[in-house]
Amino acid sequence: MDNLNLRLFLWLTLLGVGWLTYTAWVADYRAAPRTTTAATPQAGQVPGVPANDVPRIGSPSDAQPQIPTPAQAAAPDTGELIHVQTDVLDLRIASQGGDLVRADLLEYPVDKDMPEPLVRLLHESGPDRWVFQSGVTSAVGGAEPNHRGLFRSASNEYTLAPGQDELVVTLDWVGEGPISARKTYTFHRGRYDVELTLTVAPAAGGSWRGAPYVKMERVHVPAKRSYTSPDSYSFKGPVLYDGDSFERIDFEDLARMPETQEVQGGWFAAIQHHFLAAAVPPSGAVYRYDASASGQTFVLSAIGPVADVNAAMPLNATFTLFVGPKLQKQLQSVGSDLERTVDYGITTPLAQPLFSVLDWVHGWVNNWGFAIILVTILIKLVFYKLTAMSGRSMAKMRKIAPRMKSLQERYKDDRQGLSQAMMELYKKEKVNPAAGCLPILIQMPFFFAFYWVLVESVEMRQAPFALWLQDLSARDPFYVLPALMAAAMFFQTRMSPAPPDPVQARMMQIMPLVFAAFLIVFPAGLVLYQLTNTTLSILQQWRINTIVARESAAT
């Protein structure tokens, strides 16, 4: 590692640490949300949920998104809770509204070493309130089957039986009026997407007009910021997709300025680290999307076009609700680019194909640790020629190091003469000192891409490797990998030409310890990638040094 190589490595490391520090500082010290006179919500209260919160028909210019006020806060009336359990979800549907109000993920414990508690995404009340609401709003007035209405089901217990691939739960509206209405939930084995069909039919010979809608309310709790927690760098909050662009919405910005837009083929969601809840309206119609926030709650809704309903043509609108982990294959199968909720940030162009390759290799080896090692080998093979050129240059630099030291002693008082003499030596020996930078320039983008893949991909959450490494997305609990990384870097520096400057030479000696300390807080999978890459680089450089030495002896 020559002088330029060392300086580049130090600067890139410093920039990386500075970027992480700035991100955490902005998250911790940016302007606090606007405060209100509302009291802290108690258990059973809904912070800032208005009583009249049914989305209303209107154009974007006329729409006035419901802005919750403290005076409208009230305890939610869910009525009876209907229990639904599939092989992956444990859910509750409220008879009051017929809405999905609780969801536990049966295969995702909060703590890897404890089977309970499970990750809970939806909850009907309190400071953790997070619910889906849906219904049909009337264009002609009168009674309507909205999420304030009462729905009745044939049973209060539904379970996906062994060998059963589909579970259907039907709720009929209990309301007086010229129409009948129904909500039908369809659950599938092994799936986190749920089909919700809203059906409205008028009495024989009658007609009716109305628009279907789906809505989400969530109490916003910002993620805790910490250098050791992946949650620190993952977005948590509302997002909107308009069929083209994916927009993360800052809660404070939404409180200041509600959003309204008409979209075809879009969706809305509340996302957090590894998990999300999303609503995808039918793609064939234009829906009006409203987003607002106040107090501690944000509200997202999508209302469809007004439909003329008669006995021959009842209203049928099927939404897809996704409640679960950000499993990319399932998100892609839902469609509408829902996989964009897996947010790799600016590294997405590299991280997305990198994950695809990792996932493909994992399908063969069934171990994410071995998949990381094998993909690192593949990356090394792809860039073998480039790194080999750099390695030959470094080997030649090592060979001419004594002659360079002699030139420095001869021209110690003549910097211009030293520079000219060294350039002549490089030219004569066909050495490119800048070539040593190539491995680092290639390595750094993959380093950051691997970081985001490990942190953001739920497929690697709590994924074991071997022995003491039982969670590749968390840091090494015994710091074995960082220690091995320090040893590998030490051997790597011994194979590189020593800097002529004593200060830089001393820095090279302590650099393995500094870099190992830097890697302590990173996911074990990332350190495994770096250790594998460094080990392969050592083997490659050893082979190149041997070849160059043999060529020199032959001449």
In angstroms, the Cα distances linking 169 to 151, 161, 182, 236 are 12, 14, 11, 31
Token readout for 127 is 């400071």
DSSP 363-398: HHH--HHHHHHHHHHHHHHHTHHHHHHHHHHHHHHH
Please state, in angstroms and rounded to a whole number, the distance separating the CA atoms of residues 130 and 121: 7
The predicted-structure confidence for 244-273, as pLDDT tens digits, reads as follows: 888 888 888 888 899 999 988 899 999 988
- In the predicted model, is pLDDT for residue 98 greater than 90? yes
Instruction: Please report the pLDDT score of residue 387 as a whole number.
Output: 65
Is the CB of residue 449 less than 8 Å from the CB of residue 442?
Answer: no
Instruction: Please report the pLDDT score of residue 94 as a whole number.
Output: 93
For residue 100, which phi and psi values (nearest 5 degrees)? -80, 115
The predicted-structure confidence for 146-193, as pLDDT tens digits, reads as follows: 999 999 999 999 999 999 999 999 999 998 778 889 999 999 999 999
The structure's pTM equals 0.78
- In the predicted model, is pLDDT for residue 534 greater than 90? no
- In the predicted model, is pLDDT for residue 456 greater than 70? yes
Instruction: Please report the pLDDT score of residue 398 as a whole number.
Output: 60
Token readout for 555 is 């001449």
Is the CB of residue 236 less than 8 Å from the CB of residue 222?
Answer: yes
Sheet holding 150-153, edge to edge: 150-153, 166-174, 179-188, 193-202, 315-325, 275-280, 267-272, 237-241, 246-248
Sheet holding 157-159, edge to edge: 118-122, 99-109, 89-94, 81-85, 157-159
pLDDT above 70 covers what percent of the chain? 69
What pairs with residue 103 in β-bridges? 91, 122
Q: How many CB atoms lie within 10 A of CB 345?
A: 14
The predicted-structure confidence for 213-244, as pLDDT tens digits, reads as follows: 999 999 988 766 555 555 556 788 899 998 88
- In the predicted model, is pLDDT for residue 31 greater than 50? no
DSSP 27-83: HHHSPPPPP-SPPPPPTT-BTT--SS-------TTT-------GGG-B-----SEEE
- In the predicted model, is pLDDT for residue 463 greater than 60? yes
Instruction: Tell me whether residue 224 is exposed, middle or buried, using C-beta atoms within 10 angstroms of its C-beta: 0 to 12, 13 to 18, 19 or more.
Output: exposed
Domains of the chain, earliest start first? 3-21+352-554 (no CATH), 31-55+68-343 (2.70.98.90)
Please state, in angstroms and rounded to a whole number, the distance separating the CA atoms of residues 529 and 447: 8
